[in-house]
Amino acid sequence: MLLKIPSVLSREQVVQARDILFASDWVDGSVTTGYQSARVKNNLQLPENSQAAQVLGDLILGALANNPRFMSAALPARIYPPMFNCYQGGGNFGVHVDNAIRHVSGTPVKIRTDVSMTVFFSDPEEYEGGELVIEDTYGSHSVKLRAGDAVLYPSTSLHQVLPVTAGRRLASFFWIQSMIRSDEQRALLFDMDTSLQSLQQQLDNSAELVKLTGVYHNLIRQWAET
């Protein structure tokens, strides 16, 4: 399931984050990737243990905790601390698939990457190129969203960032270990949850709606891994 989530961050939060990103020191992005990905990766990143990355990561995680659409779609068990990248001057990231397991630096924690997420900090008109292209069973999807918007998609997907030929593309990227390992099951639960929320506006807790809500939660009990 590929899902765009508008306004994960407010415009005020975006401005605050951009001020920090503009003032930060960046390093070669290849230092945080695997052997195969490093061969096709050409970008800059904030050091994972930098104060800027930690402050901005907390900003994103706080916003996501209060975003019902994200919570419904991802059903998160663990979230890898958000990382931050910069593409400019032809920078790109060729076709790759994300590592299945990510080790959280400085901790014993390992996270299975079920869902990948990108939060944009540059508006589309600020740079040329730089589309996030995601492959799934329905073909290629090109994603280029406004600052503060986000996209999530299965980490099993082949994807790439096309060369940025002008301007600068700033974004955060990270991974979620979902309580529901299967993308197909997460998609079914998301559709059911959004339908239940819509019906709630129309039926006002009817007996049938209560039963359907019970089905939703019983499916989570059956499929969840915590």
The span from the CA of 116 to the CA of 79, in Å, is: 10
DSSP per-residue codes, 85-135: EEEETT-EEEEE---SEEEPTTSS-EEE--EEEEEE-S-GGGEEE--EEEE
What would the two tokens of residue 9 be? Answer: 């961050």
Domain boundary among 178, 200, 215: 178
> What is this structure's pTM?
0.93
Give yes or no: residues 97 and 48 share one domain. Answer: yes
**pLDDT score, position 37:** 59
Residue 213 lies in domain: 183-223
The span from the CA of 65 to the CA of 71, in Å, is: 7
**pLDDT score, position 31:** 67
Contact residues for 171 (Cβ-Cβ < 8 A; gap 6+): 84, 85, 118, 119, 120, 121, 122
The span from the CA of 151 to the CA of 8, in Å, is: 10
Give yes or no: residues 143 and 190 share one domain. Answer: no
The span from the CA of 220 to the CA of 217, in Å, is: 5
**pLDDT score, position 36:** 57
Domain boundary among 178, 197, 214: 178
Question: For position 187, which CATH number holds?
Answer: 4.10.860
- Taking CA atoms, 52 is separated from 7, 47, 125, 169, 173, in Å, by 21, 9, 25, 17, 15
Give yes or no: residues 168 and 57 share one domain. Answer: yes
- Each of the 226 residues of the chain gets a pLDDT tens digit; together they read 999 999 999 999 999 999 999 999 999 987 666 555 566 889 999 999 999 999 999 999 999 999 999 999 999 999 999 999 999 999 999 999 999 999 998 899 999 999 999 999 999 999 999 999 999 888 999 999 999 999 999 999 999 999 999 999 999 999 999 999 999 999 999 999 999 999 888 877 788 899 999 999 999 999 999 8
Nearest-Å Rg of the Cα atoms of the chain is 18
Give yes or no: residues 215 and 104 share one domain. Answer: no
Question: For position 92, which CATH number holds?
Answer: 2.60.120.620
86: nearest Cα among 59, 121, 53, 52:
121
**pLDDT score, position 33:** 60
- Find where tokens 């508006």 sit: 123
Give yes or no: residues 190 and 131 share one domain. Answer: no
**pLDDT score, position 220:** 97
Residue type at 159 in one-letter notation: H
Tally of domains within the chain: 2
Give yes or no: residues 22 and 89 share one domain. Answer: yes
Give yes or no: residues 125 and 71 share one domain. Answer: yes
Give yes or no: residues 12 and 29 share one domain. Answer: yes
Give yes or no: residues 66 and 113 share one domain. Answer: yes
CB atoms within 10 A of CB 174: 22
What would the two tokens of residue 135 be? Answer: 């492959």
What would the two tokens of residue 115 be? Answer: 């869902």
Task: Tell me if 4 sits within 8 A of 150, measured CB to CB.
Answer: yes
Domain boundary among 178, 194, 211: 178
Give yes or no: residues 214 and 130 share one domain. Answer: no
Give yes or no: residues 197 and 120 share one domain. Answer: no
The span from the CA of 35 to the CA of 40, in Å, is: 10
Give yes or no: residues 144 and 47 share one domain. Answer: yes
